[in-house]
Amino acid sequence: MKYIITVLLLLGFNFSYSQNINPSHIINLCSGQTVQGTTPTTNIYNNLYTSCSTLPLSTAITLYYVEIESGSTFTFEVSPNTMVDFDFASWLNPNLSNLGPSDRGSQNTILGITTADIGLSMLEPTQLCETAGAAPPATAVVPGMVRWYDVVPGDGILIAVDHWESSVVSYDLSFGGDAVLNCSVIGKIYEVCDEDKNGKESFDLDQIRDEINNINQTFTIDFFEYEADANSLFATNSLSTPFDVSITDSPKTIYARFKRANGLLARVTEITFIVNEVAKLPENDLMLEICDFDYTKDEYFDLTDIEDQINNLNTADIDYKFYENEEDAIANNNRNIKNITNYLSATKTIYLHISINDKCPIIVPIKLRVLLNFPPKIIEYSEFCATPTANSLVYNLTKSESYLTDYETQIIYEFSYHTTRNDAINKTNIISQPTNYSVPFGTNEIIHVRVEDDRDCFIISELHLNSKERITFTDKYNFECEPYILTPLPLGYNYFTQPNGQGKRLSAYASEAIIYGKQTIYIYGNSLFVDEEYPDFNKCTYETQFTVYNNDCLVPRGISPNGDGLNDSWDLTPQVVSKLSIYNRLGSLVYSYGEGYTNQWHGQATNGSVLPSGTYFYSFESLNGIKTGWVEVMYETK
């Protein structure tokens, strides 16, 4: 009966001294923190007891909550910054709706001891509580420091620090043991960018629930829009997923209610969502364009013109930084372009770092274009690229257009053709048929080409037209044994032995320009003979031919190689010999010569010895075919 009475008394003690704790009065803490406490956070609780005292804590209370992420032992220490008496009570896995006496606590006195520290210690083997006014030896091994907690992941500890002697003296609260605390208890912030620029973003509460639960996922977590609902175990108006947050509502705070497996309220944690605005950009690519009026291929740009385009689409204040390369823009370093209102540049791409409130930066390429960034050109339009008529050359002026724009293909230009520069400047008196422009023979003209883009930038280039009749030769007939000699041709023409500029190139007045016998000569005109750097539109050719007919020249009947300068050698130059063979009366070959024979034989054998006087027989291949006959060698005295 006595045992039953004792149990009833204890139950009555717990019931009489229970307290309902509002989670909003609790400060959630995390590992690595050292808290400096000063004034109490609340004075509404007057019924908080330790397990070893009938004297409650004062109403000058600060409440802290920690939660175990991992580890097996937990301690804490409250260290006043001066010798002021603090008390404490702590609860492992407390029932906030019905908080009974603590399972750890100290209400000792600091009289007669040298430290005012209180808390849990790994040095205390057994004592769990120190009663009101306890002094050594009725205290723990270290006064104020009772036994540690054995913990598992998911355990929560509520700590009440009692400022009963002074509400103004500060203290340090630190943690020990091998436990690592769950930092999600202090609240979580989820910050995103409104990438799709629709003014809101959706958050997956199921994913967040998994993230903020402990490693063993022992809590039941629900989310509420209002803190009062989260503090109630019976509230059912929890939020569903996905949860939308607009930029205008940002930052938006909701409340996560943590319930233990036994259904008790463990804690309430703030979850804050921040949706950051992303700068809106024009739909088209960002570009700045300036006419290259001085033909230098670079111009001064005012980069703030881009800012005006973007500001027109946004209401927020936007931060701009311009960079010459993308890597620096991404790094957002200090190598940005400084002189943004007068930036000298050729056509190229730079990069813009854009952010709002230094959040959600985006990197945007900006195309700087120096319009008509090619110089005016002056070129002679080759006569070979024109079409001859009876009295003129007809030019297609439009074939020069790609060359005049440096083969730019991404921009559409407008071309107009004029006979004077003033007309080109004023865009007057435009040539109506530039594809069929006729220039009479013997006439030089300058065509002024106005090249204009869609921004009204223009340059004026020149096409020089020199209209000349084509070179043509009739066949040549010589009735005596005299060679035909090639005369010089105008610039752009050359003689060749084969069509299309093939074979041997013949130079006027050179040895190869002396033509014996019958031979066809090709006159080949090529604009590259004038300038090897001509562009493709100006690469054209022309060809004509004529044949030289010479009467067959007589073969000399004899030589007298005596050194008197007369008939010393057998001269077959007019025959254009390609192979020569000489035989004696017995038919033996005594001398031979190949391609290019003119007058090399003067009576010697092939080995250089002197042949005797007499009659010899020949056979040679020439321009006019194979010829045979005899020749006399006579050595006369001078």
Residue 222 included in any domain? yes
User: Confidence class of residue 11 from pLDDT cuts 50, 70 and 90?
Assistant: very low
Question: Does residue 595 have a pLDDT over 60?
Answer: yes
Residue tagged 């002189």 (tokens): 339
The CA-atom distances, in angstroms, between 314 and each of 282, 322, 355, 356 are: 10, 19, 12, 10
pLDDT confidence bin for 32, thresholds 50/70/90: low
Both 95 and 160 in one domain: the answer is yes
Residues 242 and 296 reside in one and the same domain: no
Which residue did the predictor score with more confidence, 519 or 494? 494
CA–CA gap between residue 171 and residue 244 (Å, rounded): 42
For range 189-196, the mean pLDDT: 94
- Secondary structure, 3-state, 59-105: CCEEEEEEEEEECCEEEEEEEECCCCCCEEEEEECCCCCCECCCCEE
Question: Is 484 inside any structural domain?
Answer: yes
From 183, 208, 234, the end of a domain falls on 183
Side chain identity, residue 140: A
Q: Are residues 32 and 137 in the same domain?
A: yes
Whole-number Å distance between alpha carbons of 3 and 5 = 5
Strand 343-346 to strand 541-550: parallel, antiparallel, or no bridges (unpaired)?
A: unpaired
Could you tell me if residue 396 is inside a domain? yes
**How confident is the model at residue 553, as a pLDDT?**
78
Per the structure, the complete domain to which residue 265 belongs is given by 187-276
- 638 domain residue, yes or no: no
Query: Exposed, middle or buried by CB within 10 Å (0-12, 13-18, 19+), for 109?
Result: middle
Beta-carbon contacts of residue 523 (< 8 Å; ≥ 6 apart): 471, 473, 489, 493, 494, 495, 496, 543, 544, 545, 546
Same domain, 252 and 264: yes
Q: DSSP string spanning 497-552?
A: EETTTEEEEE-TTSGGGEE-SSEEEEEEEEGGGT-TT--GGG--EEEEEEEEEEPP
d(CA 296, CA 290): 12
**583 lies in some domain:** yes
* Average pLDDT estimate for 325-333: 96
Q: Which of 504, 528, 550 is the last residue of a domain?
A: 550
Q: For residue range 543-575, list pLDDT tens digits in order.
A: 999 998 876 778 899 999 988 888 899 988 888
Cβ(255)–Cβ(224) below 8 Å? yes
Residue 19 · residue 45 · CB < 8 Å: yes
Q: What is the predicted pLDDT for the residue at 517?
A: 74
Q: Please report the pLDDT score of residue 35 as a whole number.
A: 67
HSE-CB at 573 with a 13 A cutoff on CA atoms is 10
Domain co-membership, 355 together with 485: no
Query: Confidence class of residue 637 from pLDDT cuts 50, 70 and 90?
Result: low
Q: Residue 616 and residue 638: Cα distance in Å, rounded?
A: 23
pLDDT recorded at residue 453: 86
Asked whether residue 206 falls in the same domain as residue 232, the answer is yes
Whether 166 and 216 map to the same domain: the answer is no
For the cut 80, the answer to whether the pLDDT of residue 12 exceeds it is no
Which tens digit of pLDDT belongs to each residue from 248-301? Answer: 999 999 999 999 888 888 889 999 999 999 999 999 999 999 988 777 888 999
pLDDT at 398: 96
Nearest-CA neighbor of 40 among 155, 147, 151, 171? 171
CB 83 within 8 A of CB 44: no
pLDDT tens, residue by residue, 347-391: 999 999 999 999 999 999 999 998 877 889 999 999 999 999 999
64 & 134 share domain: yes
Statement: residue 588 has pLDDT above 90: yes
Reported as a single tens digit per residue, the pLDDT across 123-177 is 999 999 999 999 999 999 999 999 999 999 889 999 999 999 887 888 999 999 9
Single out the residue of 392, 350, 390, 396 nearest to residue 369, CA to CA: 350
Is residue 204, in this structure, part of any structural domain at all? yes
- 42 with 152, same domain: the answer is yes
Q: Which residues of 60-99 are buried (b: 16+ CB within 10 A; e: fewer)?
A: bbbbbbbbbbbbeebbbbbbbeeebbbbbbbbbbbbbbeb
The CATH number of residue 85's host domain is 2.60.120.380
- The number of distinct structural domains making up the chain is 6
Q: Is residue 293 part of a domain?
A: yes
Quickly list H helices, 287-444.
Answer: 304-311, 326-331, 401-404, 421-426
Which of 224, 250, 276 lies at the terminal end of a domain, its last residue?
276
Residues 137 and 9 in one domain: yes
For the whole model, what pTM was predicted? 0.55
User: Quick check: 3 pLDDT over 50?
Assistant: no
Task: Indicate whether 67 and 170 sit together in one domain.
Answer: yes
Confirm whether 281 is domain-assigned.
Answer: no
State how far the Cα of 469 lies from the Cα of 466, in Å rounded to an integer.
Answer: 10
CATH number where 426 lies: 2.60.40
pLDDT > 90? residue 519: no
- CA–CA distance, 280 with 61 (Å, rounded to integer): 51
Based on the domain organization, do 145 and 15 belong to the same domain?
yes
Output the DSSP codes for 394-438: EE-GGGGHHHHTTT--SS--EEEEESSHHHHHHT-S--S-GGGEE
- How far, in Å, CA of 345 to CA of 340, rounded? 11
Residue 489 Cα distances to 20, 65, 492, angstroms: 118, 107, 8
